[in-house]
C-alpha cells in the first residue's frame, strides 16, 4: 500500500495569525479535493511527533485505506480513530 502525505505548516507571530493562516490552508485543501471530484471529510487527527495544538487530516473513503474515521451525522464530529473521544451516555430512566 502507498499513500501520499502532504503536511502544511505556518510560522506565525501570535495565535490570531495562526488562526487566520490555518483557515486559509483548510480552505485551500477543501478546494483541491473538490476540484479533483473527491468526496472527503476533514477529521481531527493526532499531531504526532511534530506536536502542535491542532491537527486535521483530509480523508477519502477507500478500500485500500488503513485508517478508520469516526463520524457523527447529528453533530458533524469527525475524527481519526486514534484521536476520537466520546462522552458516556447517561443511563435510561427505569
7 vs 77, more confident: 77
Measure the CA–CA gap between 2 and 66, rounded to whole angstroms. Answer: 10
Of 46, 49, 65, 66, nearest in space to 57 by CA? 46
Nearest-10 Cα torsion for 38, 44, 46, 52? 110
34-61 per-position pLDDT tens digit:
999 999 988 887 776 666 667 788 888 8
Confidence (pTM)? 0.70
Task: Supply the mean pLDDT for the chain.
Answer: 83
Q: How many alpha carbons lie under 13 Å from residue 67 in its C-beta half-sphere?
A: 21
17-34 per-position pLDDT tens digit:
988 998 999 999 999 999
Mean pLDDT calculated for residue range 69-87: 85
Of 85, 22, 29, 27, nearest in space to 55 by CA? 22
Amino acid at each position: 500500500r502507498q499513500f501520499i502525505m502532504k503536511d502544511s505548516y505556518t510560522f506565525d507571530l501570535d495565535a490570531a495569525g495562526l488562526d487566520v493562516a490555518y483557515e486559509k490552508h483548510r480552505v485551500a485543501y477543501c478546494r483541491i479535493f473538490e476540484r479533483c471530484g473527491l468526496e472527503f471529510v476533514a477529521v481531527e487527527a493526532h499531531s504526532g511527533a511534530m506536536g502542535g495544538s491542532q491537527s486535521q487530516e483530509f480523508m477519502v473513503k477507500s478500500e485500500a485505506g488503513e485508517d478508520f474515521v469516526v463520524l457523527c451525522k447529528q453533530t458533524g464530529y469527525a475524527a481519526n480513530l486514534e484521536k476520537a473521544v466520546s462522552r458516556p451516555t447517561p443511563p435510561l430512566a427505569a
